[in-house]
Amino acid sequence: MNQRRNNRAAPALIPAGIVRFVALTLMLVAALRAWGAGAGGDYLTDVWTADEGLPDSSVTAIAQTPDGYLWVGTYNGLARFDGMRFVTFDPANTPALAHARVRKLSVDNQGTLWINTLDGSMTSLRQGTFTREWTGAEGLDPDVTLVSSSSNQVTFLLHRGSLRRKTQSDPAGTGWEDLNPPSRSVGTLCVEDGAGTIWYRGADKHLWRVTGKDFEPLPQISGLVGSQVNCMATDSRGRLWIGTDKEIAMWDGTQFQTIIPTNAELPVDVAFLSVAEDGGLWAVANGRVRKAMDRRWILEAESLKNVFTGNLSRMGARKDHHGGVWLYDYGRGLSHIADDGQVRQFGPQEGFPGERVNCFFEDHEGNWWAGLDAGGLVRIRERRFQTIDTSGQVPTKPAKSVCEETNGTLWIGTLGDGLARWQAGAFTNLMVPGGTGKGFAFCVYPDAAGRLWVSAGDEDLFVREHDGFKRVLPVVHGVKAILADKAGGIWVGTKSGLYFANSESSTDFKLYEGIGRNEVRALSEDGHGSLWAGAEDGTLFHITGDTIATFHPTDSKVPQAIWSLLAEDDDTVWAGTFRGGLLRFRDGKFTRFSINEGLPDNIICQILPDGAGNLWLGSHQGIFRVAKSALNDFARGEIKSVPGTVFGRSDGLPSLECSGGYQPAAWRGQDGRLWFTTVKGAVSVKPEEIRPNPLPPPVVIEDILIDGKSLDTTTKAQEKPVPTGTVYDHDKKFLEVSPGKHQFEFRYTGLSLVSSDRVQFRYRLEGADANWVEAGTRRSVQYNLLPAGTYQFRVIACNSDRIWNETGCTLTLKILPYFYETLWFRVLAGLVAGGLVAGAVWYSVTRRLHRKLEQLARQQAVERERARIAKDIHDDLGANLTLIAVLGDLAKQEKAAERIEKMASTARQAVKSLDEIVWAVNPRNDTLAHLIDYTGQFAVDYLRAAGVRCLLDVPEQPPERGVPSNVRHNVFLVVKEALQNIVKHAHATEVWLRIHATNDDLKIIVEDNGCGFAHVPANALADGLRNMHQRMNELGGKCQIQSRVGAGTEIIVELPWPPG
């Protein structure tokens, strides 16, 4: 209903043109109506009160913003609802709200939410920002009603009768102007037609038009007969309809045309009007609720006659898309009138919590919402599944089996209520005789001969013929499944095997050979007349004539019982198992589908085809519809999961647990209706009437917890401080946090108000997650210790019919780095590290090269030493040995004694030379002390043998110092050469050997008292002296020779020690 009432306690009537936002309407209204279309007349109600999170159980107003949130006004604050939880806004956390008690909620065509509170104040919510538009100044309990927002202005009707408007481009909280009619009072109505004209009805019930800032009274020649305008409405074409005390009229652009039904009683006193989508006109006229079509009353809600009389200022109406109408009133409750005139008044039996209805609203997905005084928030939606009441009361007894005879009679086996029969529009409960289990019917199946086969009592087999039951004899006990085949044979699966009776001896059951004593729980016949049987141990039997084939799934170590079977004409067999999911058997191969592949449960106890390419699976977690093509695609490896739709309590199921263990537990009727049994009775559904919800759910990131501190990302104004070091840009959805390792928790929601608990999500943090993460129905995710950098958090969602919003919601997260995590620091650190590495490499290479050079030097020294040793051995030892050999030859000829003596002397000389060589190369002698001792001892021994006196001046305790072998040897040879020259050439009688050693150098003086010389002679002596100089030069030392004729010779050897 599009009229606006300005009465003290008027309900929140949101115009249809405002509720259905322009963009959404153009794209999806047709799909919504197709989806919402159903049988009608059977509804589900869900109630939310303060116990479920509402701030107060008195609901005054309901609206929905374009982002999908439902907004609920209460006595104690404004609540935002996503279908799962309420978020409360009040003056304590939202200062822009002047009062906690909300009176009206409206949404304009730009998506702004307008909040009218008890004190008369108006607050707007636009793009996440709450703004106080004006403060009430006319006393408590005012009502402010949105009249128009279709142009560039927004206009409200105030409580006292004035209009208040502003240009929408003006900043929030500014630009308001008031339009005052000639007389203001409570009780005015205001409506805008499709041409943008605002029509105003004052408290005197006279009609005015608003032109600019002026109120123009309706001229006398306007075409109206009645003098009092009671109600106004607009139709889908924007045409204005009014009801007066004498007529129904429509404005044609120039004047009013009377549209009184030709079969109406005159005068027609119209108290209420609403134009239906099919062009029909619902009216409360003369105390009767009727519908007119083509200017004729076509039906009347007889049960509402004289109900809606008197003051109807708190009455409202909504169209139901089926040609019917919803009527609601504060005090008269909620009623639905179908297009055939049948009336349903909602009360306690439907779970409706009261009669004081403040507001009634339809959301984007076709749900109806009612706000009640002290009754909470109520959602009403049409049932998808119809419950079957077999006892005249709310069904509570479990249903175990269901079937339908060819004449349309429906049979339901229950635990406690016996066998229920639906025939001729009525239920009859029949008790099957049977021991301790009287009233228990486990299986029921009709055959072509009109008989009914039943497992009842103690699971014994009974047959119903001629309206009576009799036990089959011999007794067939432990019956789990029954099937009548196309040839008239009866198959009975029991806990001790499979029994069969043919059409000729239909009560003479024999144990079927080849099955053994396996417990058979499921039976199905394929299009070729072959029988398939499922056993408790998971074996699948195929019986063709006298041939029996057995098959076993090989992908599970633990066998799962087969509880349901469907054999199809294309040679595909579907098997539902207990805890093993669904099996597809085709071409000798099993394919398993389980929770991991997208099924809601691994217990599949019922399987039905719908004739449209889908399977309907009854489980312990509801009923699942899945396309066979999707199952086949998965079996071929073309998809990774199986999409489907899960139906639960919100669709009308009395319980999620479908019955299993006995068959048939589900049945497809002749009219295509599917029947399922549950632990709380039987349900049915018409598959062709179940259409998917075409609206993908809007996705919102609502809140981010940073190290446990909350950041609300949906509204800009909030009392809670933003976490320290955090910057959030609401418009850009950009979050920047301080450096460090933080813990993040993203909280998000999917805004589908149909089966909100079955909305599923996928999320991905780009920069951290490689792929999308399947979150299921979980609405939050945590990330810990993320490194500095920029990330994008994306979340998408699908509704309960698996329609995905692929765009979803995105938020950019930037974690600032510490200085040592910045790029410039990393570049600098890289350069420094590179320099250090280069330096280390240079040092290592240089050191290695030095070591190599030292090694080469040592090797060369060793080679020289070896060469010297070889030379010495050759020169000294070789010469002496050669001399000994020659002397030996001469001794053979003459002067033997003299020669032998010479040989002995030479040999001693060779031994001495060898001793010198050994001393020189022995590393144990590489000390200064050894050098001094050996040199001194050699001098004494050598000079004594030559008959020359030797005087020594050497230190008793020389400095502790190492002397390499080459140094020792060369120094010794220099001294030896000097002594040899003295003995051979000086003719001396005394020789002084003085050795002085300090920490800095070594000094050796060899002095004799021989003949001396003035010049170095050119003979062997000269060669010896040159050798002495050469040796000392190689060691870095020097050799000085001082000699005077007749005064002897002095040889000075100086050798500085190397550093260290």
CA–CA distance, 570 with 985 (Å, rounded to integer): 131
Average pLDDT over residues 539-561: 92
Residues 6 or more apart whose Cβ sits within 8 Å of residue 225: 244, 246, 247, 249, 258
Alpha helical stretches, state H, 552-602:
none
**Phi then psi for 946, rounded to 5 degrees?**
-90, -5
Residues 6 or more apart whose Cβ sits within 8 Å of residue 732: 812
CA–CA distance, 690 with 684 (Å, rounded to integer): 12
| Residue 916 pLDDT exceeds 80 | no
> Helices 823-872 and 896-921: crossing angle, nearest 10°?
170
| pLDDT value at residue 746 | 97
**Least confident segment among 275-289, 425-439, 639-653, 784-798:** 425-439
Among 875, 481, 484, residue whose Cα is nearest residue 659: 481
What does pTM read for this prediction? 0.75
pLDDT for 486-542, tens place per residue?
Answer: 999 999 999 999 999 987 777 789 999 888 889 999 999 999 999 999 999 999 999
Quick one: pLDDT band at residue 543, thresholds 50, 70, 90? very high
CA–CA distance, 675 with 666 (Å, rounded to integer): 5
- Structure tokens, 491: 């198959």
**Least confident segment among 55-59, 170-174, 359-363, 717-721:** 717-721
CA–CA distance, 501 with 507 (Å, rounded to integer): 6
| pLDDT value at residue 928 | 87
CA 147 to chain centre: 44
Cα dihedral 6, 7, 12, 15, rounded to 10, equals -30
pLDDT for 1031-1057, tens place per residue?
Answer: 889 888 999 999 888 889 999 999 998
CA–CA distance, 50 with 58 (Å, rounded to integer): 9
> Helix, strand, or coil here: 460?
strand
CA 469 to chain centre: 58
Q: Indicate the residue type of 36.
A: G
Q: Which residue has the tokens 């010049």?
A: 1015
pLDDT for 85-129, tens place per residue?
Answer: 999 999 999 999 999 999 999 999 999 999 999 999 999 999 899
pLDDT for 668-717, tens place per residue?
Answer: 999 999 999 999 999 999 999 998 899 999 999 999 999 999 998 888 75
Quick one: pLDDT band at residue 876, thresholds 50, 70, 90? low
| Residue 183 pLDDT exceeds 70 | yes
Proportion of the chain above pLDDT 70, given as a percent = 89
| Residue 5 pLDDT exceeds 80 | no
Residues 6 or more apart whose Cβ sits within 8 Å of residue 117: 97, 98, 99, 100, 101, 102, 103, 123, 136
| pLDDT value at residue 23 | 35
| pLDDT value at residue 124 | 95
pLDDT for 121-158, tens place per residue?
Answer: 999 999 899 999 999 866 666 789 999 997 789 999 99
Cα dihedral 657, 662, 668, 674, rounded to 10, equals -10
| pLDDT value at residue 885 | 60
CA–CA distance, 642 with 172 (Å, rounded to integer): 49
The pLDDT mean for the chain works out to 87
Among 400, 443, 446, residue whose Cα is nearest residue 423: 446
Among 621, 662, 696, residue whose Cα is nearest residue 403: 662
pLDDT for 920-977, tens place per residue?
Answer: 767 777 888 888 988 998 898 888 988 999 999 999 888 888 888 888 888 988 998 8
| pLDDT value at residue 874 | 56
Average pLDDT over residues 446-454: 94
| Residue 11 pLDDT exceeds 60 | no
pLDDT for 241-280, tens place per residue?
Answer: 999 999 999 999 889 999 999 998 888 999 989 888 778 8
Give whole-number Cα distances, 355 to 311, 333, 358, 418, 682, in Å.
16, 4, 9, 39, 31
pLDDT for 758-815, tens place per residue?
Answer: 999 999 999 999 999 999 999 999 999 899 999 999 999 999 998 999 999 999 999 9
pLDDT for 315-344, tens place per residue?
Answer: 888 888 788 899 999 999 999 998 888 899
Average pLDDT over residues 826-845: 89
Among 192, 237, 20, residue whose Cα is nearest residue 111: 20
- Structure tokens, 397: 């007894």
Quick one: pLDDT band at residue 27, thresholds 50, 70, 90? very low
| Residue 437 pLDDT exceeds 80 | no
The structural domains of the chain, ordered by start, are 4-289+296-383 (2.130.10.10), 390-689 (2.130.10.10), 699-821 (2.60.40.10), 925-1060 (3.30.565.10)
| pLDDT value at residue 881 | 64
Quick one: pLDDT band at residue 619, thresholds 50, 70, 90? very high
CA–CA distance, 91 with 101 (Å, rounded to integer): 10
Proportion of the chain above pLDDT 90, given as a percent = 57
Better-scored residue on pLDDT, 946 or 864: 946
CA 787 to chain centre: 20
Quick one: pLDDT band at residue 887, thresholds 50, 70, 90? low
CA–CA distance, 563 with 618 (Å, rounded to integer): 11
Q: Read off the DSSP letter of residue 651.
A: G
Better-scored residue on pLDDT, 955 or 886: 955
| Residue 32 pLDDT exceeds 60 | no
**Least confident segment among 8-17, 579-588, 646-655, 851-860:** 8-17
> Helix, strand, or coil here: 843?
helix
Quick one: pLDDT band at residue 720, thresholds 50, 70, 90? low
Q: Which residue has the tokens 């001729």?
A: 424
| pLDDT value at residue 18 | 31
* Helices vs strands, H then E, count in the chain: 9, 76
Q: Can you give the C-alpha Rg of the chain in angstroms?
A: 56
- Determine contact, residues 804/798, Cβ cutoff 8 Å: yes
Average pLDDT over residues 857-871: 68
pLDDT for 1005-1032, tens place per residue?
Answer: 999 999 988 776 666 567 778 888 888 8
Continuous segment of H or E residues that includes residue 368? strand 368-372
Give whole-number Cα distances, 680 to 351, 352, 398, 625, in Å.
18, 21, 5, 20
| pLDDT value at residue 680 | 93
CA–CA distance, 853 with 848 (Å, rounded to integer): 9
- Helix, strand, coil share of the chain (percent; to 5): 20, 40, 40
Q: Residue-wise over 444-471: b if at least 16 C-beta within 10 A, else e?
A: bbbbeeebbbbbbbbbbbbbbeeeebeb
| pLDDT value at residue 852 | 86
| pLDDT value at residue 139 | 65
Among 955, 951, 1014, 942, residue whose Cα is nearest residue 981: 942
| Residue 223 pLDDT exceeds 70 | yes
CA–CA distance, 43 with 652 (Å, rounded to integer): 8
CA–CA distance, 61 with 116 (Å, rounded to integer): 10
Residues linked to residue 368 through DSSP beta bridges, in sequence order: 362, 380
